[in-house]
Amino acid sequence: MHLQYLDNKNKTQIDFVLVTVPWTDSSMPLMAPAALKPVIEQEGLSCLAIDLNAEIFDYTKTASNKDSLIQFFFNGYTDSEAAATELEELFVEIANRILSYRPKYVGLSIFSYVCQHSAKWIAYFLKKMDPDLIVLVGGAGCLNTFTGPSEFVDELKNLNLIDYHIRGDAEHSLAEFLRKNKTFHGINSLTWSEMSNDEIRSLPIPDYDDYIFDFYTQKTIPLVGSRGCVRRCTFCDYIANWHKFTWRDADSIFSEMLFQNKKYKVNKFKFQDSLTNGSISEFRKLTKLLATHNKDNPNNEFRWSGYYIFRDVNNTSDSDWELIYKSGAEVLMVGIENLNQHIRYDIGKKFNNESIIYHLEKAQQYKIKISMLNIVGYVTETRSDIEYIKQWLRDNTRFKDNIVIQWGGTLGIFPNTYLEKNKDRLGISMIGNGPPLWINKQTGSTPSMRASWAKELNDFSKRLGYSVHNNIDNHYLLEMLMQNEQV
């Protein structure tokens, strides 16, 4: 295939080529290369930062071997000889095109575990063609869990396919690497340094100059307003990695939105952090700034979406929702986790059932879509809880046109989480290496049972007329769990 992103027509020499690795199901830009490009350039190096995944994802939509290609991205193999040939040609072409820039460094940004197989083959051909090239990898996809060692990275190092792994917040560790400080936390190490509020607020604005926005169905600019989380959910390995909640002030976020809007003529933004309203005071300031901008600029109103916390009713007012509406909010993604109140309380999300109804009513009133994120099969969940969820869905179909339900994957037990540390007390026994592979002898919960619950709720919701988001990752995983009779 012809790669527009790596077409080096002018035979330009670039010091650092930074690319996202396919395959991620995304209709908007992956921001890591754009965020790191100014960091690299501040160290005096030239940088090409591209979202290569966008072009490959766009290509697979209409590829004749689509299913076989996706099978490879997930499993590392394909049963199609034609697809295997096509993939080899693709990875060779990517490596050749990258090396046409004669870079000193190549960075592979690995967003998801689904990108690991492609990353391995791209690194293989890069090193085969130029053994002296310095190849770095980073991103959440390097790790099956947020914490602990990476078997994937160790494998690539043992095969001499990569030289360095950048872990955690790369804005600092990558800069230190380029300053030859290769013992800095986060460089080939299990530990890394979290940023303070001052540090996160002083980061350079991401640079999307090398991106091709025609590849995206949504012309949207990603934003990061915070890192970490204010909640301490029992299942969450994110907080095991980011121990502190750090956030940018409203003025710095709004200034970035103004800058990107002027530069790229984009007025839609997606917050990529785990929550937009972690700091209530700064969130209110930001919504006021956005509401004023939208009032004063009717032909250039800003629109945004992001992750949002439902708090109890007494912590949120109608004026808050009115501001959210005027600020241009289109979709709020909310971690409901479970529609059973007692399970939410077990998880650590202590907002009651009445609060859910209140927030859904306000969102409906102000025509703001709610994406409800759920996890099926919490450690205390039983068949009766599934029946309660189905009854809740029956009783609340009035919201079906205003919410999108994501049933997600079944509950995983991840290292360093509350559940992992207390698994013996909770009756949890691991029966395999994957996070979903556990049983609870106290409740009789098994992986196949939980997978069947997830499918049941998914199908039931659709029959009632709810919009349900189907995630390919979860589809592959649930099918595997249901077909594995051992679990």
Average predicted confidence (pLDDT) for the chain: 91
Q: What is the pLDDT of residues 58-97, one digit of tens each?
A: 999 889 889 899 889 988 988 899 999 999 999 999 999 9
Distances (CA, A) of 55 to 48, 62, 91, 382: 16, 12, 13, 43
389 C-beta neighbours (distance < 10 Å), count: 22
Q: Is the confidence at residue 482, as pLDDT, over 60?
A: no
φ/ψ of 270, rounded to 5, equals: -125, 120
- Whole-angstrom distance, CA of residue 320 vs CA of residue 272: 21
Q: What is the pLDDT of residues 382-392, one digit of tens each?
A: 999 999 999 99
Place of tokens 């998880």: 347
pLDDT at position 479 = 52
Q: Is the confidence at residue 19, as pLDDT, over 60?
A: yes
Strand 226-227, strand 221-223: pairing:
unpaired
Alpha-carbon 332 to chain mean position:
15
Place of tokens 């395959």: 23
Q: Is the confidence at residue 463, as pLDDT, over 90?
A: yes
- Whole-angstrom distance, CA of residue 217 vs CA of residue 228: 29
Banded pLDDT at 145 (limits 50, 70, 90): low
422 Cβ contact list (under 8 Å, min separation 6): none
Q: Is the confidence at residue 487, as pLDDT, over 50?
A: no
Lowest mean pLDDT among 221-235, 339-353, 380-394: 221-235
Query: Please, how many CA atoms are within 13 Å of residue 123, restricted to the half-sphere of its CB?
Result: 30
377 Cβ contact list (under 8 Å, min separation 6): 410, 411, 445, 449, 450, 453, 454
pLDDT at position 229 = 83
Q: For the chain, list the domains and their CATH numbers.
A: 16-199 (3.40.50), 209-483 (3.20.20.70)
Structure tokens belonging to residue 231:
């909640």
Average pLDDT over every residue of 39-66: 94
Average pLDDT over every residue of 136-154: 84
The beta strands (E) that lie in 217-341 are given as: 221-223, 226-227, 246-247, 268-271, 303-308, 329-337
Strand 47-50, strand 16-20: pairing:
parallel
Question: What is the helix (H) or strand (E) element at residue 135, kind and residue range?
Answer: strand 134-138
- Residue 127, class by beta-carbon neighbours within 10 Å (0-12 exposed, 13-18 middle, 19+ buried)? buried
Q: What is the pLDDT of residues 264-311, one digit of tens each?
A: 999 999 999 888 998 999 999 999 999 999 999 999 999 999 999 998
% of the chain surpassing 90 pLDDT: 74
